[in-house]
């Protein structure tokens, strides 16, 4: 199977930050699809400094499990760094690996926080995703590789 399919949420940063439930179907290399359990995707930002919206996903999960295992713990924290988000995601999924698909690399502080928690971060270029469909609420968004 060369798809990553799972439940997740779109996290929006800032004072009006929000967590919006979402589902992902992403077409990737078969070897990659089999190894990814927890992932984060930034479809929009060109640098980490401009990150404002991040999709986090637990492969194979349903919406209720994601809400209870990941969304609620993030809401309880109220304010989270990227490292906090990725640690909560990995811990809930029960994995020591988080895959990030973006046009940027995680900063040293995030990498150090994950390493201290025993989590390895794998960065992939956004182009590793051949096509993706994100379903959130009544809206559907589709991205294709350029």
Residue with tokens 């799972």: 6
Q: What is the full per-residue pLDDT of the chain (146 aa) written as tens digits?
A: 699 999 999 999 887 788 899 999 999 998 888 889 999 999 999 999 889 999 999 999 999 999 999 999 998 888 889 999 999 999 999 999 999 999 999 999 999 999 999 999 999 999 999 999 988 864 444 555 54
Q: What residues have CB less than 8 Å from 125, skipping those under 6 apart? A: 101, 102, 103
pTM of the model: 0.89
Mapped onto helix, strand or coil, the DSSP state of residue 144 is strand
**What number of CA atoms fall less than 13 Å from residue 117's CA on the CB side?**
23
Q: Is the dihedral of CA 59, 62, 76, 91 positive or negative?
A: negative
């Amino acid at each position: 199977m060369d798809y990553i399919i799972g439940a997740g949420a779109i996290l929006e940063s800032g004072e009006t930050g929000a967590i919006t439930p979402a589902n992902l179907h992403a077409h990737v290399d078969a070897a990659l699809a089999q190894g990814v359990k927890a992932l984060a995707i930034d479809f929009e930002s060109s640098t980490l400094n401009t990150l404002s919206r991040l999709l986090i996903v637990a492969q194979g999960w349903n919406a209720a499990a994601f809400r209870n295992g990941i969304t609620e713990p993030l809401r309880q924290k109220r304010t989270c760094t990227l490292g906090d988000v990725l640690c909560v995601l990995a811990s809930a999924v029960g994995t020591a690996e988080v895959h990030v698909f973006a046009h940027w690399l995680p900063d040293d502080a995030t990498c150090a926080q994950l390493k201290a928690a025993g989590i390895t971060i794998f960065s992939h270029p956004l182009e590793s995703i051949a096509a993706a469909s994100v379903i959130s609420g009544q809206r559907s968004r589709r991205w294709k590789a350029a």
